[in-house]
Amino acid sequence: MSESRIMRWPGDAKVALSVVVNVEEGAEGNILDGDKGMEPVDELGVFVKGPLRNFGNESNYQYGIKAGFPRVSKLLDKYDIKATWTACAVALERAPQIAAYIRDRGHEPCSHGWRWQAQHRMDEDQERDYIRKAVTSIEKTTGTRPYGWLSRYLHTENTRRLLAEEGFTYHMDDFSDDVPFWGDAGGKPFVIMPYAVDSNDMKFWTDPALTPDQWLKYATDTFDWFYDEGVAGEPKIMSLGLHLRIIGRPGRIGAFEGFLKHVRARQGVWVATRLEMAQAFAQQYPASA
């Protein structure tokens, strides 16, 4: 069931653009939330094992909420970009202004877990409870339940079946293609919406780190290649992954705007949410076909 298909996007668009804004800030590892230690993902490069708080990293994450979010949301509004917000439920509880923005601007809330935790060690009952808590929370904060799911790195053999049972439409934990396809969820078909790690602002943090100019060139080169493939009759999806605390820095946000200017200068681009793309795929290629 993993065969990919040739897509036809609305308006005969040459490429579909999926802007994904990850909201993890406030839901990361912290002994105050019962974790054994500090959050290991840290631009400062500091990690100490044991029940210790990393006040510096906590403040770096808060930068995404306090300073990064206003910059990112301003550009989404300016260029009329409808995004998918892969948000940890607790992060939205602690930053209600972001939940309100998602609701009021008609963006898509997608679940990135209840907290920013790796769920691969959970047994079936724990994972089901984890999924349900995320759904209940996100629906409460944004007014809309999530229909998509992105794990923190790893998921279990039960994840897709549980997501299907809990009313989800698609799963993002896949990097195998540039178009949706049908995967297996406990013997039933389930839409897989592949994501991308290369066109992601985490490349500002990973080694070797990209400069804003390098990141912008990579993103625009990726978009142009996808666009040319669409002109040739094989439309794809470009995923652009962002984080408020990363792209929201003043020395990086200009690269994001440069990319949006590049996109808006082209005709035939469908900028949509991942849920809209998943629904378009399922309509064109029903699971029973």
- Report all structural domains of the chain as residue ranges with CATH numbers, in order of start: 10-284 (3.20.20.370)
Place 117 in a pLDDT band, splitting at 50, 70 and 90. Answer: very high
pLDDT recorded at residue 286: 95
Give the residue-averaged pLDDT of 57-80: 98
Contact 185, 151 (CB under 8 A): no
Give the residue-averaged pLDDT of 27-54: 94
State CA 121 to chain mean position distance: 22
Place 241 in a pLDDT band, splitting at 50, 70 and 90. Answer: very high
**Gap between the Cα atoms of 185 and 153, Å rounded:** 19
Place 180 in a pLDDT band, splitting at 50, 70 and 90. Answer: very high
pLDDT recorded at residue 282: 97
pLDDT recorded at residue 4: 66
Does the pLDDT of residue 3 top 90, yes or no?
no
Report pLDDT digits (tens) over 71-101.
999 999 999 999 999 999 999 999 999 999 9
CA-wise closest residue to 13 among 279, 289, 271: 271
- Taken in order 276, 19, 122, 130, the sign of the CA dihedral is negative
Contact 195, 239 (CB under 8 A): yes
Give the residue-averaged pLDDT of 133-154: 97
Place 251 in a pLDDT band, splitting at 50, 70 and 90. Answer: very high
Phi and psi of 62, rounded to 5°?
Answer: -65, -25
pLDDT recorded at residue 5: 81
**Max alpha carbon distance in the chain (Å)?**
56
Helix (H, G, I), strand (E, B) or coil at 70: helix
Give the residue-averaged pLDDT of 43-61: 94
CA-wise closest residue to 146 among 181, 113, 122, 192: 113
Does the pLDDT of residue 1 top 70, yes or no?
no
Count the neighbouring beta carbons within 10 Å of the beta carbon of residue 4.
Answer: 17
